């Protein structure tokens, strides 16, 4: 194991790069970056006794003040942890920025602070199991070992969830009914069925459908009294694109399912006598009931995303121009959809280097540019900025997540 850490930097070299990269016109960014310089916290390896790496404190110490974002009234973790009413936190952002690590670390912190917590992955490419270094697969609630209070994880299998959806609507996709209706001389309804394109919807589901079904599945779990003890639910959501499409999806599905149900009623009244002869009445009722429940849950999901009292969407990003641009678009879309967003986590910020590493200096300069972009971005500058350093080890397992949680969630 290498003895050097990213913190063994001479302050002089760091200081000179600081002056080089920060111009007086963007002092808030500079100060913001300095916030990440609290010694000790960036070396995950030093948090564990098995690693003998000792970070060096910079010789000079800065008096830092908080980032002058106009979001100072956004309370910290104290407010997030306060109260026993159920709260939902959704973490989202571009792929690979650290959504799972941030979500898992928040879940661990809630559990260690006395909340029965559930962390859910609705990302089709699950990484909760990897993040916790425990097998959490299976699509059911699995206890996570390690935290002081019960923490459960749920990795929703979108394929399975979609199958269930397909089963619920199998008898409604029109094909069987269409033939039947034609035979009965009720062709005028066939066109209407065709218009619904439900069969097509199921064969090539629009992006975001998996996520919507996954979240509605969680709602289904949470409706059950046996899960009423969960007071904090943390969602590790799919990358930005899915999330955005998900937001508009409930309305679309609501409309489609609503149409289908109406049509079913028409068909039912036109053919009930014949249907009862064929004994299909029960199946039809069953399928219609399932569809109706799915529709209700979709509406709940839509409302949940917009409920300021119980829900917060936290955007996770990294200090690159591309990630910041995407976060800005995400924030704009969330605003348009009235989804409450208050915090922005900028993850993987490079701490000062051990040497005159050119690569690090260039990389840091690049990151500073991205941080400056955030402070000037109309969508992002009003959010409470949480800076999370790039630590020197992969964040895996409950101790590492606790370590990260103590840095990020304050």
Ligand X SMILES: Nc1ncnc2c1ncn2[C@@H]1O[C@H](COP(=O)(O)OP(=O)(O)OP(=O)(O)O)[C@@H](O)[C@H]1O
Give the residues lining the site for ligand X (CB under 6 A).
95-101, 123, 125, 127, 239, 347-348, 388, 390-391, 394-395
Length of the chain: 410
Question: Smaller CB distance to ligand X: residue 167 or 394?
Answer: 394
Q: Is 114 left (phi over 0), alpha (psi -120 to 50) or beta?
A: left
Cβ atoms 100, 121 nearer than 8 A: yes
CA-nearest of 238, 243, 237, 227 to 117 is 227
Q: Taking the complex as a whole, how short is the minimal distance between the CB of residue 96 and ligand X, in angstroms?
A: 4
Closest CB to ligand X among residues 34, 184? 34
Q: Closest CB to ligand X among 173 and 236? A: 236
Residue 242 C-beta: closest distance to ligand X, Å: 10
Query: In the bound complex, what is the minimum distance in angstroms from residue 237's beta carbon to ligand X?
Result: 9
Strand partners, 316: 93, 345
Please measure the distance between the N-terminal and C-terminal CA atoms of the chain and give it in whole angstroms: 31
Q: What is the DSSP string of 114-134?
A: T--EEEEE--SS--HHHHHTS
Of 15 and 124, which CB lies nearer to ligand X in the complex structure?
A: 124
Catalytic residues: 123
Q: Least distance (Å) from ligand X to the CB of residue 162?
A: 19
Question: Which among 272, 219, 215, 290 is positioned nearest to 249, based on CA atoms?
Answer: 215
Q: Tokens for 61, please give them.
A: 């110490």
For ligand X, the closer of residues 186 and 393 by Cβ is 393
Least separation, in Å, of the C-beta of 386 and ligand X? 11
Non-local (6+) Cβ contacts of 165 within 8 A are 202, 213, 294
Nearer to ligand X, 96 or 289 (CB): 96
Task: Determine the Cα–Cα distance for residues 98 and 207; give it in Å rounded to an integer.
Answer: 22
Angle at Cα 281 formed by Cα 279 and Cα 287, nearest 5°?
130
Q: Are 383 and 377 in contact (CB under 8 A)?
A: no
State the nearest-atom distance from the C-beta of 90 to ligand X, in Å.
13
CB 93, CB 346: distance < 8 Å: no
């Amino acid at each position: 194991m290498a003895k050097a850490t990213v913190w063994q930097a001479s302050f002089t070299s760091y200081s000179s790069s600081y002056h080089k990269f920060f111009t007086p016109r963007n002092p808030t960014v500079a100060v913001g970056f300095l916030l990440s310089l609290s010694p000790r916290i960036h070396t995950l390896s030093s948090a564990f006794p098995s690693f003998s790496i000792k970070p060096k404190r910079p010789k000079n110490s800065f008096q830092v003040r908080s980032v002058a974002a106009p979001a100072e009234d956004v309370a910290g973790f104290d407010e997030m942890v306060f109260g026993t009413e159920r709260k939902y936190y959704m973490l989202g952002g571009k792929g690979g920025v650290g959504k799972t690590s941030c979500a898992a670390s928040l879940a661990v912190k809630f559990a260690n602070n006395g909340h029965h917590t559930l962390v859910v992955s609705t990302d089709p490419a699950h990484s909760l199991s990897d993040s916790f270094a425990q097998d959490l697969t299976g699509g059911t609630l699995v206890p996570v070992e390690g935290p002081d209070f019960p923490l459960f994880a749920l990795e929703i299998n979108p394929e399975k969830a979609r199958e269930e959806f397909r089963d619920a609507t199998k008898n409604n996709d029109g094909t069987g009914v269409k033939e039947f209706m034609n035979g009965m001389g009720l062709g005028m309804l066939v066109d209407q069925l065709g218009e619904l394109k439900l069969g097509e919807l199921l064969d090539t589901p629009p992006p975001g459908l998996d996520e919507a079904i996954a979240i509605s599945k969680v709602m289904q779990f949470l409706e059950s009294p046996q899960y009423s003890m969960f007071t904090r639910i943390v969602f590790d959501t799919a990358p930005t694109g899915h999330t955005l499409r998900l937001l508009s999806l409930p309305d679309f599905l609501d409309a489609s399912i609503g149409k289908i149900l109406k049509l079913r009623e028409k068909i039912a009244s036109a053919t009930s006598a014949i249907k009862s002869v064929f004994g299909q009445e029960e199946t039809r009722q069953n399928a219609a009931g399932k569809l109706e429940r799915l529709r209700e849950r979709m509406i709940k999901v839509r409302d949940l995303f917009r409920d300021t009292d119980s829900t917060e969407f936290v955007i996770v990003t990294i200090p690159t121009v591309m990630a910041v641009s995407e976060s800005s678009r995400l924030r704009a879309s969330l605003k348009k959809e009235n989804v409450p967003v208050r915090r922005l986590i900028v993850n993987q910020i490079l701490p000062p280097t051990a040497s005159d590493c050119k690569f690090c200096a260039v990389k840091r300069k690049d990151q500073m540019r991205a941080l400056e972009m955030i402070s000037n971005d109309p969508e992002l500058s009003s959010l409470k900025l949480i800076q999370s350093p790039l630590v020197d080890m992969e964040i895996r397992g409950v101790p590492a997540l606790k370590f990260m949680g103590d840095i990020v969630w304050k």
